[in-house]
Structures are given as C-alpha cells and as structure tokens.
Structure 1
Amino acid sequence: MSTQETAATRVAIVTGGSRGIGRETVTRLAADGYAVVVGYAGNRDLAEAAVQDVTAAGGRAVAVRADVADEGQVAELFETAAREFGGVDAVVHAAGRMYLAPIAELDLAELDAMHRTNIRGTFVVARQAARTLRRGGSFIAFSTSVVGLSFPAYGAYSASKGAVEAMTMVLARELRGRDVTVNAVAPGPTATDLFLDGKDQETVARLAAQPPLERLGTPADIAEVVAFLASPAGHWVNGQVVRANGGIV
C-alpha cells in the first residue's frame, strides 16, 4: 500500500466485534471505507469470519483478541491498528456483559464480573482512545435504554451502564480542543444473542410490543446510528446518549 493510500484510510476499532451489534457495526463501517480492527474476547472463529466478510467485499480488517478490562491487551489492540493501518479514527466500544437477577438475589460474583467488563472495560478502552484518536475522530460507547426504563432484574446491569453514560459526558468535555467526539448509544430491546438468551417467547413478544414501532430493534438498526456518529455528518453530535429504541419512553 502506498503512503498516500495509508494517509487517506480511516481506521476503526470495534470491540465486541465478533457478534451481535458489534459484528454488524464492523460490516457497516467497512462499507463506509474504514479499515477495521475487530476486537474479540474469546471466539476467534466468529471474529475471523467477520474479517473474512469484510475482505470478501473488498475491504480490510484484522482480528485481535483483547480482554477490554486488561490495559496491556487493549494497548496492543490500538497498537495493531496503528501498525496495520496507520492510526485510529473511530473507536466503537461494543463489548459488554449482561446478567439479570433481582437485586436481593444477585450473585455478587456476577456483579463483579459484569462491572469489570462494563465499567472497567469501558474506562480502559476510553482512556486508550483519548490518548490515541486522531483529529476528527470519534469514540462511541454503549449504554442501554434500560437505564431510564427501570425494568426489574436489570438493576446491576443498568448501574453498570449508568457509569458508562457518566464517563461519556466527562470524556467529551475533557477532549475539548482535540476535535474528537464522544457519545454513547443506548439501544432498546434488540434481537441479539445477548438479549434473547434466557427469555421465553412470551417475554420477547411483550418487549417487542413496547416501542410504538412494535418490533425489536435489529443489530443493523443500531449499526446505522453508530455509523452516523462516526461519520463527518454526525460530527456535531457530541457528549450525548442516543436512545435508539423505537420510541420507548
């Protein structure tokens, strides 16, 4: 690749890029011309499949295993982006963990594991993004519309995502003068494995009926919002939580 081509390439890192919303985001950003680093926690086959989909369509991508709560592994994720593609312009932090139980019954080991991924992981990735993103870049975290809906059994998960929203607001202000935007996307019920796992058909149908649009969201719905926020067209949106949920209030 020529130096001119390298300089013109926009580069995205997508954590949690092997499945669900992250996987759809990888495909969507690649379609916009991004070279994509697909971060994954454990399923190498799914991550490599995402890379193969991108390269088959004429794009460029590479898969990198990284525990988002491990600062050394996250640093290597960013170093790979710089080494392979020349820098980082967009960071989409889609990796997350969800465990549902009433507060009175929640296993504290599950609480700790969820907070390690959702809070510490977001902080570690955001810190590296703040140090690395080029001018005109974007950091996009993931919250959840459940933060405002207060569904039973979502107490610990909502608390972890409330922390993500707080970090988003602070980091947007800390990056004043850098020409870098910081936002969070807060999906409503979305048809991913993470959401569907453990729910019966009656529960899924009830949740699908809640939005005025009367369906579950899809990973593609959310990836479109992410792509907009990462694009020059979305660059005036900064320090916001975008509740992409079909109109649930």
Structure 2
Amino acid sequence: MGLQKVTAGGKTVLVTGGRRVGSDLARTLAGLGWRVAMTYRDSREVIEATVADVEAAGSEGLAIRADLTDPEQAEAAVAATVARFGRIDALVNMASIYRRTPLADLTPADFDAMVAANLAAPYHAAIAAARAMLAQEPVDGIRGKLVFLGDWATERPYKGYLPYLAAKGGMTTLATALAVELAPSIPVATIQPAMIDPPPDLTEEDKRAVLEATPLRRFGSSGDVNRLIVYLLDETNFVTGVCYRVDGGRFLGNG
C-alpha cells in the first residue's frame, strides 16, 4: 500500500526532540497531512525552523519548550498540543542523550542523567499522551499511537556506554509493557536504529570501523527510520508490542 494522506482536517502528532531525524519526520508527516507539535529543551532555533517548514508545507505546527524529565512539563506539553489542535493522535518519543561514559570514569551523576533523559522523559511523555488519548474519541477504533526510538545495542551492548544502554533498555521494556496496558485502544511500537547519518565529529577511522561492523556496509538515513514510522502511524492498526531493528545488520554480531 502506498503512502496516503490522512483524512480531511488531519491528525496530530507530538514529536519530542528531533534536531535531525525528528525534524525530517516532522516535514514528512506534514507533507502527508499531519499537524505537528514538537518539543525542545535547548534547540529552540532548530525546532522553530522545522515548524516553519511544516507550515510552509500547508499544515499546522507548534513548537513547545519542555523539559520532559519533569512530569508536570510533560503533561503541559501534551495539554498544549490538545489545546491547539483538539486531539493528539500520535506521540513519537525521539528525544535522547547519547554520551560515552567509560567504566573507569563513571559517577552517580552519569547514571542519573542518562536515566532522566532516556527513560524518565519518555515515560512521562507517554503517560501524559496516553491519558489524553484515552479521553478522546477513537478513529477507526484507535484512540492514538505511541512510537519509541530505542537503540539496537541494548540487546547486544558495547563498552563505554553503560548508563545510556541501561536507560534505553528500560525504555524498550517500558514500551512493551505499555503495549499490554493500553491495548486495545493504543498500539505501541519501538524502533531501534543503529548509526543514522554519522555526526560531524566522528573521525574517518571511527566511520570505517562502524561500516566494517555493519553487514550492509552503509550508514542509515533519516528516511530509513521515518518510512517505518509513517507505516506504523498511517498504514496499519494491527501492530503493537513490537521492536524493529533498523541497523543494517549490526545486531548480527559482526562487530
């Protein structure tokens, strides 16, 4: 089935974070008729520029400043979305912090920071969104959808990122548990990408090492992730509790 625009008037998605992949997702969904709200904590200019692109595409957009580690701010972000657009049909939990923390240098603050950003924040956003969804009328039997962005390495960890991987692993379990809690009204899915569009500070040596450890010998793109999200949001109501790896085969264990 090809991509189809959503019904007249559009549906509403709240995307948390999204300086790169999330911004591309916002523009893609706007082109398919979705209204897009986006949260930011520090990246105001990037998110506001993305919202401007959403509106230039003929849709409606909203930028919301929120620290989602605070449950009250998470609730306020969802409330602002509903107040502006009348409902919330999807939450895409994309905001994350990825930082190397070698075992020899670990401090309690490293654990607290990773859990706050990568587990507590998506938890608070998901609970707030789910409560709002459950209070609204269903569309095609569905009151809303939740999508989480995880990490393939939570199932085959590598060294140097212990607090990050522990938090992301907890988030994957959170998503699976929510699929049980929220059925049959709200489908829930997790996507576990490997490296998407390598960051500019990655050395050429590091890039080669990643490619050699990836059976498909390429980096992922925003589109590799976002086409799957579009499928989950627009093309099926019969998927929940699943975890998709979008990793070029990294999980297979070549490195």
TM-score (structure 2 length as normaliser)? 0.88
Match in the other structure for 1:183: 189
What are the equivalent positions in structure 2 for 1:188-207 lying under 5 Å apart?
188-191=194-197, 193=199, 197=201, 199-207=202-210
**Once the two structures are superposed, what CA deviation does each residue of 1:37-56 show, in whole Å capped at 9, x if it has no partner?**
01111121111100111111
Aligned to 1:3: none
CA contact (8 A) 1:192 1:219 kept: no
Q: CA deviation at 1:34?
A: 0.7
For the residue of structure 1 that corresponds to 2:37, the secondary structure is strand
SS across alignment from 1:150: coil
- TM-superposed deviation, 1:170: 0.6
Q: 221-230 or 104-113, which moves further after superposition?
A: 104-113
Give distance in 2, aligned partners of 1:223 and 1:74.
23
Give 1:186 shift.
0.5
For 1:94, the equivalent position in structure 2 comes to 94
Farther-moved stretch of structure 1 (209-218 vs 59-68): 209-218
Cα RMSD after superposing both structures: 1.7
Q: In structure 2, what is the equivalent of residue 238 of structure 1?
A: 240
Q: Which SS does the other structure have where 1:149 is aligned? A: coil
- 1:139 corresponds to 2:140: no
Deviation at 1:212, TM superposition (A): 2.6
Moved over 4 A (4+): none
Q: Is the 8 A contact 1:14 1:94 kept in 2?
A: yes
CA–CA distance in structure 1, aligned partners of residues 148 and 20 of structure 2? 15
Q: 8 Å contact 2:145–2:187 — kept in the other structure?
A: yes
Residue 220 of structure 2: which of 198, 209, 217 is its match? 217
Provide Cα deviations, 1:213-244, integer angstroms capped at 9, x if missing partner. Answer: 2111112211111111112x232110011111
Q: How far apart, CA to CA, are the structure 2 residues paired with 1:57 and 1:28?
A: 10
The question of 1:167 aligning with 2:174 is answered yes
After TM superposition, list the pairs within 5 Å mapping 1:118-157 onto structure 2: 118-133=118-133, 134=136, 135=138, 136=142, 137-157=144-164
- Work out the CA distance in 2 between the residues paired with 1:7 and 1:79: 23
Instruction: Check 1:95–1:192 CA distance in 2 against 1; reply closer, same or farther (3 A cut).
Output: farther
Could you tell me which amino acid in structure 2 is paired with residue 183 of structure 1?
Answer: A
Q: Answer whether contact 1:9 1:85 (CA < 8 A) is retained.
A: no
Unaligned regions of 5+ residues in structure 2, if any?
Answer: 1-6
8 A contact 1:21–1:192 mirrored in 2: no
Matched-pair contact (CA < 8 Å) for 2:21–2:226: yes
Native 8 Å contact 2:216 2:248 kept in 1: yes
Distance in 2 separating the partners of 1:143 and 1:109: 22
Distance 2:12 2:71 in 1: 20
Aligned equivalent of 1:10: 11
Q: CA deviation at 1:61?
A: 0.6
Unaligned runs of 5+ in 1: 1-5
Contact residue 101 and residue 110 of structure 2 kept, 8 A: no
What is the distance in 2 between the residues matched to 1:31 and 1:149? Answer: 36
Query: Residue in 2 aligned with 1:247?
Result: 249
Q: Sequence identity, in percent?
A: 30
With normalisation by structure 1, the TM-score equals 0.90
Mapped to 2, the partners of 1:192 and 1:214 lie a distance apart of 13
Number of equivalences: 238
- For the Cα contact (< 8 Å) 1:74–1:128, is it kept in 2? yes
Change (3 A) 1:70 1:244: same
